[in-house]
A and B are shown apart, each in its own frame.
Chain A
Amino acid sequence: MASLGIVKEVKRPKPLSTNSAIAYATKDLDVDVVSAYPITPQTTVVEKIADFIANGELDAEMIHVESEHSALSAAIGAAATGARTFTATASQGLALMHEILHIASGMRTPIVMSVAMRALSAPISIWNDHSDVMNARDSSWIIYFVSSAQEAYDTIIQAFKLAEDSEILLPVMVSYDGYVMSHTIEPVITEERDDVLKFAPKRPFSYRLDPDKPVTMGPIADPNWFYEIKYQQVIAMEKALVKAREIDEEFKKTFGRGYGIYECFMCDDAEALIVAKTSYATTLKTILPRMWEKGYKVGLLRLRLYRPFPVEDFKNILDKVNAILVIDRAISYGAPLQGPLAMEFSSLISREDLNLNLTSVVAGIGQRRMIDSDFENLVKLAWESRTKKFDKTIFYGVRT
């Protein structure tokens, strides 16, 4: 369009929290059904959607339920009829959904869910870490970690397009830090509904609950059939890796913003990398330039698409450095490495026969305060790990 001399009007950002940005995305996607139960720090997502419905800005059915178990169950029912379906949760709510998570993916219902990540009880914590989503990582949901309110808005749109693709038909989780992002006001550009729906049109699914053409969904599958049906999910996940990248590229062409399925920041000439996600990644992007000036050539590998895991891309990135430090904000108790993400990178290193040091760091559990100097310490540790091997997981900032 630029060649014709037509310049699109510059869009002015709105001051929105990530929770509000997500609500705006569901409005602009014209979702049909929202089924959710309130839980801190997710609540304002659904409150804002309820506002949109009450104002007449969104014509959707809001299903009030008595628990998250029911919220996702109702969402499955809605999605099975072909409705564009959204839900949102956090922490205990996601844990209570756990059984239904597997049913949603097993029934191939393209639900999109936002997760304002929060620690799991006990003791009770309303604060942020990643225990809830890491606990759900094997549920065959596509999982994104986003790092800003803008990225959350954009990714919800991408997520519906991905979930509803006939080759994929898997539910998608878009996760972000509770409070640190969910309740933080920042600039967000929202798009026109027509443009959003043109990018992510509602498509009738091949199989849906329709009285004129009845089907049975979620039947029993005996040992002769079950394995193949689960293997279909393996294949769909593999396809999602390709599709997610394509959708992001198309999104960038359409709206001018793209993220890739991961982000490598200051990776050129870096000798070590820190693997981080969500708000920690954003903060590290402000820390790294000044650490380079001091001689610490450490880059950032920001995880964005977590399931499916971009194995090949990560292999090529890891091949160029001497060390990686993986920050986990969840604990895998009693595991060989207690950082669950570190374990996945460790298996990638071993599978691909890569030669580099891996350091597993657990930090920010229950939103333990991490200030700029803490991130500088982690950059220094990553630098040190090029020549020094840390065999055990480091529990950064804990009082032993």
Chain B
Amino acid sequence: MRIEIRWHGRGGQGAVTASEIVAAAAILEGKNALAFPEFGAERRGAPVRAYTRITDESEMARTPIVSPNIVVILDPSLITPSYVEGLKENGCVVANAPEDPKDLAEKLKLKEGLGLRVATVDATSIALKWLRVPIVNTAILGSLIKATGIVKLDTVTNLVKERFPGRIGEANASAVKDAYESTKVEDLE
């Protein structure tokens, strides 16, 4: 097993933190995992890219992921075909988008018959509802778990509470669960 996730967001949305939480959850669930950002664009609003690699092998490559199994897009402005470049067959796209998965697939020019799965969630609204700021990373985690089951919901909500102690953690955990429940998933047959 080797699952590679590529995260696209904008500085300040928490893509790097999200990539780390997924790796941390996988590690706590007994898998081998690593997470790292594409470094250098640590500026609010600039496009940011991060990676998570999960495997049951002992050795893990430390190279940037060019053919991901999963692409997560945290910002609606980044929904263009260039951001799903290299997506593998039977892969999955999870996006912060208010539209239906079918419409998203069209925007991203995803082909049918490759076993692709598309999931959408209005993470911005969820983040504003629970956190009152448009930091969508925790919401998108719920969506990713719903679409892929890559890690357990409980592991992630516990990690989120640990990472952001107190009320903020509770609110973020609620955002994760809310997104988990409101995510729309569609397989492109």
**Interface residue ranges, A against B (CB under 8 Å):** 12-15, 41, 126-127, 177, 179-181, 183-187, 279, 282-283, 285-287, 367, 369-372, 375
Q: In the complex, what distance in Å separates the CA atom of A279 from the CA atom of B60?
A: 10
State whether the Cβ of B182 lies closer than 8 Å to any Cβ in chain A: no
Q: In the complex, what distance in Å separates the CA atom of A389 from the CA atom of B28?
A: 49
Question: A283 to chain B: closest CB distance in Å?
Answer: 4
Interface residues of B in 44-78 (CB under 8 A from A): 57, 59-64, 66
Question: B66 to chain A: closest CB distance in Å?
Answer: 6
Are A184 and B40 closer than 8 Å at their CB atoms? no
Q: Which residues of B contact A282 (CB under 8 A)?
A: 59-62
Are B28 and A15 closer than 8 Å at their CB atoms? yes
Most chain-A CB neighbours within 10 Å: which of B59, B60, B62?
B62
Are A369 and B35 closer than 8 Å at their CB atoms? no
Residues of B within 8 Å of A, CB-based: how many? 21
Most chain-B CB neighbours within 10 Å: which of A177, A187, A282, A371?
A187
Q: List 29 A-B contacts (CB under 8 A).
A: A15-B20, A15-B23, A15-B24, A126-B40, A127-B39, A177-B62, A179-B37, A180-B36, A180-B62, A183-B39, A184-B35, A185-B23, A185-B27, A185-B36, A186-B34, A186-B35, A187-B32, A187-B33, A282-B61, A282-B62, A286-B57, A286-B59, A287-B61, A369-B64, A370-B63, A371-B63, A371-B64, A372-B63, A375-B63
Are B64 and A181 closer than 8 Å at their CB atoms? no
Contact partner, B61, options A179, A187, A369, A372, Cβ 8 Å? A372
Q: In the complex, what distance in Å separates the CA atom of A181 from the CA atom of B59?
A: 14
**Interface residue ranges, B against A (CB under 8 Å):** 20, 23-24, 27-28, 32-37, 39-40, 57, 59-64, 66
Are A283 and B39 closer than 8 Å at their CB atoms? no
Are A286 and B60 closer than 8 Å at their CB atoms? yes
Q: Which 4 A-B pairs have the closest CB atoms?
A: A15-B24, A184-B36, A279-B62, A186-B34
Q: Which residues of B contact A177 (CB under 8 A)?
A: 62
Question: A125 to chain B: closest CB distance in Å?
Answer: 10
Q: Which residues of B contact A13 (CB under 8 A)?
A: 27
Q: Which residues of B contact A185 (CB under 8 A)?
A: 20, 23-24, 27, 33-36
Additional 15 contacts, C-beta under 8 A, given A14-B27, A184-B34, A283-B62: A15-B23, A15-B27, A15-B33, A179-B36, A187-B33, A279-B62, A282-B60, A283-B61, A286-B59, A286-B61, A287-B61, A369-B64, A370-B63, A371-B66, A375-B63
Question: B178 to chain A: closest CB distance in Å?
Answer: 25
Question: A28 to chain B: closest CB distance in Å?
Answer: 19
Are B60 and A186 closer than 8 Å at their CB atoms? yes
Closest to A282 in B: B62
Question: A129 to chain B: closest CB distance in Å?
Answer: 13
Are B27 and A187 closer than 8 Å at their CB atoms? yes
Are A181 and B62 closer than 8 Å at their CB atoms? yes
Q: Which residues of A contact B32 (CB under 8 A)?
A: 186-187
Question: A287 to chain B: closest CB distance in Å?
Answer: 7
Closest to A126 in B: B40
Q: Which residues of A contact B66 (CB under 8 A)?
A: 371-372
Q: Which residues of A contact B62 (CB under 8 A)?
A: 177, 180-181, 184, 279, 282-283
